[in-house]
Amino acid sequence: MSESALEVLSSGEAMRQLTESRAAIEAGDALDGDKLATPMANRPRRAR
């Protein structure tokens, strides 16, 4: 296992966020790629 993976797995905050994210996905409270594509395409662009 990589050092970065171990770092994430040992972080209580990261694990809390992962648990919260999984619960949101299970409840249908998440955007998939198709649902996210439209708002991303319509967002204002910053000048570079």
Count how many domains the chain has: 1
Query: In the prediction, which pLDDT does 22 show?
Result: 95
Domain membership of residue 34 (yes or no) is yes
Residue 28 maps to a domain = yes
Domain assignment of residue 33, given as a range? 3-42
Cα 5 from chain centre: 16
The residues of the chain scoring below 70 in pLDDT are none
Three-state secondary structure call for residue 31: coil
Query: Does the predicted TM-score (pTM) go above 0.85?
Result: no
In a domain, 48, yes or no: no
Q: Cβ(17)–Cβ(23) under 8 Å?
A: no
Is 32 contained in some domain? yes
